[in-house]
Amino acid sequence: MRVRLDLAYDGTDYRGFAENVGVPTVGGELRLALERVLGAPITLTCAGRTDAGVHARGQVVTFDAPEDRVDPRRLQRSLNSMLAPRIVVHAVSAVGEDFDARFSATWRSYRYTVLHAELPDPFLARTSWWVPEALDLEVMRAGAAALVGEHDFASFCRRPTPDASLVRRVHGAGWEEVPLPGSPAAAPGGDGARLLRFGIVASSFCHQMVRSIVGTLVDAGRGRARCADLPAVIAARDRAAAGNLAPPQGLVLWEVGYPPAEPALPVAGGPATS
């Protein structure tokens, strides 16, 4: 039978999802735990192969296993007892043979968190990018709006092969300011600190696309003029035209969509999806 897992993980201490000999990976630990519980070899397919240090809230994985060995509730309990809290399985379900975690997905969404503050916060360090410089949120929002639609994102991606297409459709993108944890007034911007969250949803993403986009938008927010004109950066189709790569710890694979679910922008205050 084909089995679907919905899971979340803290990617800080992993070298990404995909298995890699000699280093800890999410996929490697998950496969070993599954094989221990089910007593059968397992091959995993994931919706998004997150990079080293990147987190997930809504990762989806599929695999095939002998039907008589899969009890969804027992499997979920067993996996969580072995892997939690760094990896947590939210759901286990049987799916049709034609369902594939990667190829059946029609959209994916990511979130990226930036902490603007004079000093870093040790309690946010694993899940955000500390940026001490002043940021113009409206400039960053204007840049995000320019991403919506179908574009060649060569300025933001590594091209895997010379003839590979980097055309992607972005359904929505935007920034919001969110309350800082522990703020007495539970309001953003207390004591000059601001927690900013970028959300983007697209049909698919190329390698390091979101981190490149965030790095470019943050550079625009810092006042670096060459990054402020996002349409020109997109049109250049040259990685050198974009800004620096944002670090991995602020990035989360937020949700993966399958028919009939429609894509929705994962942050408030952004442009309407299209």
Q: Is 219 a catalytic residue?
A: no
Pair of tokens at residue 215 = 């790095």
Judge whether 100 lies within some domain: no
Question: Of how many residues is the chain composed?
Answer: 274
**Domain, as residue range, for 166:** 107-257
Same domain for 22 and 59, yes or no, is: yes
Residues 124 and 219 in one domain: yes
Contacts of 143 (CB under 8 A, 6+ apart): 216, 217, 220, 227, 228, 230
From 6, 10, 13, 51, the catalytic residue: 51
The residue among 84 and 179 whose pLDDT is bigger is 84
Number of domains the chain is built from: 2
Residue 55 belongs to a domain: yes
Q: Tell which residue, 213, 211, 206, has the closest CA to residue 159.
A: 206
The answer to the question of residue 265 being in a domain is no
Residue-wise pLDDT for 197-224, tens only, equals: 999 999 999 999 999 999 999 999 999 8
Do residues 114 and 250 both lie within one domain? yes
Assess if residue 54 is contained within a domain.
Answer: yes
In a domain, 268, yes or no: no
Q: What is the mean pLDDT of residues 239-258?
A: 95
Domain assignment present for residue 248? The answer is yes
Q: What is the pLDDT of residue 189?
A: 42
263 within domain boundaries: no
**Pick the residue with more confidence: 187 or 119?**
119
Decide if 71 is inside a domain.
yes
Q: Give the confidence band of 267 by pLDDT, cuts at 50, 70, 90.
A: confident
CATH of the domain at 11: 3.30.70.580
With cut-offs at 50, 70 and 90, classify the pLDDT of residue 268.
Answer: low
Q: How far apart are the first and last CA of the chain?
A: 37
